[in-house]
Amino acid sequence: MRKRKKNKQEKKGISPLIAGVLYFAIIMAAITVMMTIIMPWMETTKDQISINYAKKNIVGLDSIVTTVASEGEESSRIIFLDVKRSRYYMEDVKNAFYFEYNVSENIVSPRFRIKEGNVFFGSQLNSKAIDYDSYFLLENQYLRVNISKKGDVSNYSSINTSEIINSIYFKEKDVYIYGQNITILPDNYAYSGNGTGYVYIEEEDFFLPKAVAVCRMANANSGVSYDLYFELPSDSDFLMIYLKNYSSS
């Protein structure tokens, strides 16, 4: 692939990357059952070589973008990439440069993300969590979940667990479920769902393996405390809700 900056118009597509990061995503593929032993081993080796080569390319590209940005408006570089059984592409909306490659689960674990310099490396990075003025948004390819923003670690707010979810939007069916139709009762006991605490998101970002909001119920009316998790995994059409750190003391 050949790429060159020539003028301001061409620069418009790449300049947002300077202030951000480069993302390296791998798309998980279904496991194919092979009838031989040699072929899966050969494919695994090829996959690992391709992934390592792509990681080197992405890290190199990140270095080039940083250097060009520091040199001024007329600076440019020609970039050559050897693309095999994969694709590189840029997405202006998210200010990201992608590498995509289909692999089996014995190469890459599902839903993980690690950072190497300015590059994120992982699989199934299709969730996002965004902090807006009055609410949090958890989203993946199938669902958009609107979560109430309440209090913070220094200032507790009154909380009713059945009012934390404002709405759930099912993209494929174009259907909303609104908060008044959702009831969440920890221990199936109404007093446990009311109290004081705060709601936050674990990590605000795009390209997440899972988007997570947490209600820290510090003082429930029933005398208990707990963390109520709202987890939207990437590539899933369901929202997981579960308790952690439950204490009756």
Q: Tell how far CA 92 is from the center of its chain.
A: 17
Q: Which among 195, 184, 188, 93 has a CA at the least distance from the CA of 147?
A: 184
Predicted pLDDT at 209: 92
Predicted pLDDT at 45: 65
Average pLDDT over residues 195-204: 96
Question: What rounded mean pLDDT belongs to the chain?
Answer: 77
- Angle at the Cα of 17 from the Cα atoms of 15 and 20, rounded to 5 degrees: 135
How does pLDDT run across 108-164, given as a tens digit for each residue?
677 878 777 667 777 888 899 999 999 999 999 999 999 999 999 999 999 999 999
Predicted pLDDT at 132: 95
* Greater pLDDT, 37 or 185: 185
Q: Tokens 């194919």 belong to which residue?
A: 32
Three-state SS letters, the chain: CEECCCCHHHHHHHHHHCCCCEEEEEEECCCCCCCCCHHHHHHHHHHHHHHHHHHHHHHHHHHHHHHHHHHCCCCCCCEECCCCCCEEEEECCCCEEEEECEECCCCCCCCEEEEECCEEEEECCCEEEEECCCEEEEECCCEEEEEECCCCCCCCEEEEHHHCEEEEEECCCCEEEEHHHCCCCHHHCHHHHEEEEEEEECCCEEEECEEEEEEEEEEECCCCEEEEEEEEECCCCCCEEEEEEEECC
Least confident of 16-30, 118-132, 200-214: 16-30
Contacts of 243 (CB under 8 A, 6+ apart): 186, 226, 227, 228, 229
Predicted pLDDT at 14: 40
Strand 22-28 relative to strand 119-123, pairing: parallel
Residue 1 near residue 81 (C-beta atoms within 8 A): yes
Predicted pLDDT at 27: 39
Residue 99 near residue 24 (C-beta atoms within 8 A): yes
Confidence of residue 93 (pLDDT cuts 50, 70, 90): low
Least confident of 41-55, 209-223, 226-240: 41-55
Q: Which among 149, 169, 142 has a CA at the least distance from the CA of 213?
A: 149
pTM: 0.69
Average pLDDT over residues 37-49: 55
Predicted pLDDT at 229: 97
